[in-house]
């Protein structure tokens, strides 16, 4: 039987609710972005995020239910799911507790969803033809403002972390570079746009480091050194470069942005290539806000094609934080049901 699930997501700076049926059919997806509230600070302020989620959550849930069913009719859903981690504690608490409230009041089961597993599930939204049998075992790259993880999964929810960033996430690296260049927040979209203004031969006129993690760096069991990445040195290299060569015009800024972006893209593509070479995967899934990046999509498509593994990107509407990925994952049978009402949020929920 195909489940219809209301999903709620408030792990960072988006207040989102959605209704999804059978893992892939999106009946509604409503996202309120707080970006303008955080822009003056150059990053997400947890206290502001939390207060804004509290203000918006009720209206966003009602909008998602009304768009899906014409009214807020709880009898139409089989369960309510929400992100319980990882994320910012004061932000997570709002969505998780709203979902608990709905679960109790409407008498519907509650499902606890791992935010990163949902990012990888997002490739299936709007694509009922992507059946589980054809996707697993799967290699996944979840790449956002808070995470950069290389994940192997034998089945949905059965994930093993192969490696990840040991410091800044890729999106954070974009955001910090934009801040340093005075380009505003968030940095990824503006760096992507400026880099596109250059002809291909000017894409990489500066050499930035590819974030290798040395073999003697201590890592948790199971993580592979060459599948981990460090982006903090890249940011330092940028600051040093800009100090020595202050940009004179827009084209100089574009060259810096582009070379920086190329370094991030190559760093991720190198690791993806290694992982695809080592493992036996039926598919490669890419999700998270940074997966909107045009050059990253190009590079990862090239790597996957060369390794003969089909690559799936989330549709643009489902790359950044959204609730369709939460509802979708839960309506495909993922997440924790047993004892979910007693579960607390987990801001650093491991993979």
Which residues are at the interface with ligand KG4 (CB under 6 A)? Answer: 12, 144-146, 171, 174-175, 186-189, 192, 288-290, 292-293, 320-321
Shortest Cβ distance from residue 347 to ligand KG4 (Å)?
13
Nearer to Zn ion, 34 or 144 (CB): 144
Can you point out the beta strands (E) in 108-210? 110-114, 138-143, 148-155, 158-164
145 binds, among ligand KG4, Zn ion, none (CB under 5 to 8 A by kind): ligand KG4
Element (H, E) at 173: helix 170-180
171 binds, among Zn ion, ligand KG4, none (CB under 5 to 8 A by kind): ligand KG4
The tokens for 312 are: 């799936």
Shortest-Cβ-distance residue relative to Zn ion: 144
Shortest Cβ distance from residue 244 to ligand KG4 (Å)?
25
Q: By the 8 A CB rule, do 312 and 130 touch?
A: yes
The answer to the question of residue 321 lying near Zn ion (CB under 5 A) is yes
Q: By the 8 A CB rule, do 13 and 91 touch?
A: yes
Shortest Cβ distance from residue 120 to Zn ion (Å)?
11
Contact stretch for Zn ion (CB under 5 A) within 197-205, 223-231, 291-299, 317-325: 317-325
Shortest Cβ distance from residue 315 to ligand KG4 (Å)?
14
Nearer to Zn ion, 99 or 253 (CB): 99
Size of interface with Zn ion, in residues (CB under 5 A): 2
Residues in the chain: 351
189 binds, among ligand KG4, Zn ion, none (CB under 5 to 8 A by kind): ligand KG4
C-alpha span between 96 and 110 (Å, rounded): 10
Q: Which DSSP string do the residues of 40-66 spell out, in sequence order?
A: GGTS--HHHHHHHHHHHHHHHHHHHHH
Within a 13 Å sphere around the CA of 267, how many CA atoms are in the beta-carbon half?
Answer: 29
Shortest Cβ distance from residue 321 to Zn ion (Å)?
4
286: phi > 0 → left, psi -120 to 50 → alpha, else beta; which? Answer: beta
The answer to the question of residue 144 lying near Zn ion (CB under 5 A) is yes
The tokens for 13 are: 């700076």
The binding site for Zn ion (CB under 5 A) comprises: 144, 321
């Amino acid at each position: 039987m195909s489940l219809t699930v209301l999903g709620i997501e408030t792990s960072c700076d988006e207040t989102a609710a959605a209704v999804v049926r059978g893992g892939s059919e999106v009946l509604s997806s409503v996202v309120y972005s707080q970006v303008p509230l955080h822009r003056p600070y150059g990053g997400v302020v947890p206290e502001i995020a939390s207060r804004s989620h509290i203000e918006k959550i009720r209206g966003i849930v009602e909008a998602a239910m009304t768009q899906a069913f014409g009214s807020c009719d709880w009898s139409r859903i089989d369960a309510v799911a929400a992100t319980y981690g990882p994320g910012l504690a004061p932000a997570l608490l709002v969505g998780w507790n709203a979902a608990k409230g709905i679960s109790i009041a409407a008498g519907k089961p509650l499902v606890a969803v791992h935010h990163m597993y949902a990012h990888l599930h997002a490739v299936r939204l709007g694509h009922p033809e992507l059946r589980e049998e054809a996707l697993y075992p799967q290699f996944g790259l979840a790449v956002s403002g808070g995470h950069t993880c290389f994940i192997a999964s034998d089945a949905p929810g059965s994930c093993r972390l192969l490696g990840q960033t040991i410091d800044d996430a890729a999106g954070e690296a974009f955001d910090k570079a934009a801040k340093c260049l005075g380009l505003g927040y968030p940095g990824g979209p503006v760096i992507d746009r400026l880099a596109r203004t250059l002809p291909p031969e000017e894409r990489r006129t500066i050499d930035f480091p590819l974030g290798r993690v040395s073999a003697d760096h201590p890592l948790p069991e199971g993580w592979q050194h060459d599948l981990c990445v460090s982006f903090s040195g890249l940011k330092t290299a940028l600051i040093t470069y800009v100090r020595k060569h202050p940009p004179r015009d827009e084209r100089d800024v574009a060259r810096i942005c582009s070379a920086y972006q190329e370094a991030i893209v190559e760093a991720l593509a190198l690791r993806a290539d290694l992982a695809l070479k080592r493992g036996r995967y039926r598919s490669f899934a890419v999700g998270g806000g940074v997966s909107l990046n045009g050059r990253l999509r190009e590079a990862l498509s090239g790597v996957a094609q060369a390794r003969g593994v089909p690559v799936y990107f989330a549709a643009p509407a489902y790359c950044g934080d959204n609730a369709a990925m939460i509802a979708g994952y839960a309506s495909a049978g993922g997440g924790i049901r047993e004892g979910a009402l007693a579960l607390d949020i987990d801001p650093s929920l491991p993979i």
